[in-house]
A and B are shown apart, each in its own frame.
Chain A
Amino acid sequence: MIPFDFEYYRPASIASAIDTFQQLDAAGKQPLYYGGGTEIISMGRMNNLKTGPVIDLKDLADCKVMEFQQDQLVIGSSVTLTQIHEANLFPLLAQAGARIADHTIQNKITLGGNLCGTIIYKEAVLPLLLSDSLVSIAGPGGERTIPINSIFKERMQLDKGEFVVQIKTDKKYLSYPYVHVKQTKQDKINYPLVTICAMSIGGGIRAAFSGVCDFPFRSTAMESELNNHALTLEERIDKAIVLTPGPIPTNLEGSAEYRKFIMKGLLNSIINRLEGSNVSNA
């Protein structure tokens, strides 16, 4: 049982959602947008989170779409990880989502909820960072569309009252060769020790990581080292890992040294798979 009370709102339009947020905020009630709700309910039950009114976004038509519009795949923020996996329009995203929590919970977790929640792993963002996806955002200041690589810096940098409406991805990114690997401490269903999504585009490799720092990230500096073919594969990986954009955590799942060890092994395997016979192992 959740040991505190809150109000529940389920608006039918974007304008109504924003208006509701503003009214509740003006009344000092500290509202929160609500997607799948799994994090809010589980953390609320444990008293790790206390919220004011929740504004459930699942009735908003624009947040429920999953379709191609011209050259873009548009996925609404209320689309669940299962729906993304079943449709398989974006195979790398489908695969990454299918390793978050378990299958039944994937029926509830939404794309927007995974991107904007407080749990640090947010593995659904990795394919979007690699694909230069665009994020459509609605808020009191109107609607805007912005590259995810600009707005996702350790977490979604949303202004007060804003929420993610849709993610838009250029079709061309849906067919590039990719690899998704998730290494956990023990069970298949767990938070990651290391998750890596990688994509091969025009001979270069892009890579995004979760579990390696206290936030998911894609680092172009690391990619430059990974794609430096003047070096051996081992040197490329070593130089890339040095550029990890934050401390590598030590916790119950594993030590920093163990994570580095796993990361090296996974990167070696991923690069070999994506570069095929062109890779230099000298």
Chain B
Amino acid sequence: MYQMLNEGLIELKVNGEFRKALVRPADTLLFALRERLGLTGAKPGCENGDCGACTVLVDGWPIKSCLMLAAEAVGHEIQTVEGLNAAPIQTAFVDNFAFQCGYCTPGFIMNCQGLINIHPDASDEVMQEWLQSNICRCTSYQEITAAIKSVLVTDKS
């Protein structure tokens, strides 16, 4: 049985590397990534699971890191925006001007990357369903849609 009783070191596999983080059992994955591992790509927004700014991939699936304990993530593969290394979806966001202030962008990109991984041929309906998990207060939704569609189309070809 895995257990964590007090503040202590846990080992997380992030962007392909094992990293040690000092956390409390009650600390979220978002906290561990930003405050202990210096990976500030995942953004704290609502910290209530509503905005999606903190989205990362866990075992390939988008997860709001404010709603996952760091201890829960032990033994799983975590990918943050820092681990994408100029993936096509990042280029597509630039090409399509898919952001204004940019605060929501890493969360959107990670959700899009999850969709590209899992449903590379996603229909418009599926794409909309997935992207409704994230909020852009600058309302760049049209441009974000164009960006993800350009990558999904590329993958289809």
- A5 to B27, alpha carbons, bound, how many Å? 9
Question: Are B133 and A11 within 8 A (Cβ)?
Answer: no
Contact for B5 among A7, A82, A101, CB less than 8 A: A7
- A178 to B72, alpha carbons, bound, how many Å? 37
B27 to chain A, nearest CB (A): 7
Whether a CB of chain B sits under 8 angstroms from the CB of A38 is yes
Question: Are B31 and A42 within 8 A (Cβ)?
Answer: no
Question: Are B26 and A6 within 8 A (Cβ)?
Answer: yes
A82 to chain B, nearest CB (A): 7
Whether a CB of chain B sits under 8 angstroms from the CB of A249 is no
> Per-residue CB proximity of B35-75 to A under 8 Å, as 1/0?
00000000000011100100100000111101111011000
Q: Which of B27, B47, B48, B69 has the most CB of A within 10 A?
A: B69
Question: Are A8 and B129 within 8 A (Cβ)?
Answer: no
Interface residues on B, range: 20 to 34
Whether a CB of chain B sits under 8 angstroms from the CB of A188 is yes
Whether a CB of chain A sits under 8 angstroms from the CB of B100 is no
Question: Which residues of B lie under 8 Å from residue A16 when comparing CB positions?
Answer: 1
Question: Which residues of A lie under 8 Å from residue B62 when comparing CB positions?
Answer: 103-104, 107
Q: A7-B3, A16-B1, A107-B61 are in contact. Are A41 and B28 (CB under 8 A)?
A: yes
Interface majority SS (helix, strand, loop, mixed), chain A: loop
Whether a CB of chain A sits under 8 angstroms from the CB of B25 is yes
- A59 to B66, alpha carbons, bound, how many Å? 21
Chain A residue with Cβ nearest B1: A11
Question: Which residues of A lie under 8 Å from residue B49 when comparing CB positions?
Answer: 38, 42, 101, 105
Question: Are B72 and A104 within 8 A (Cβ)?
Answer: no
Contact for A104 among B4, B27, B28, B111, CB less than 8 A: B111
Whether a CB of chain B sits under 8 angstroms from the CB of A279 is no
- A2 to B27, alpha carbons, bound, how many Å? 7
- A108 to B76, alpha carbons, bound, how many Å? 14
Contact for B24 among A5, A11, A20, A37, CB less than 8 A: A5
Chain A positions within 8 Å of B, measured between CB atoms, are: 1-2, 4-12, 16, 20, 37-38, 41-42, 44-46, 56, 58-59, 82, 98, 101-105, 107-108, 188-189
Chosen A-B contacts, 9 in total, with CB atoms closer than 8 Å, are A37-B69, A38-B49, A41-B28, A82-B61, A102-B132, A103-B130, A104-B52, A105-B49, A105-B64
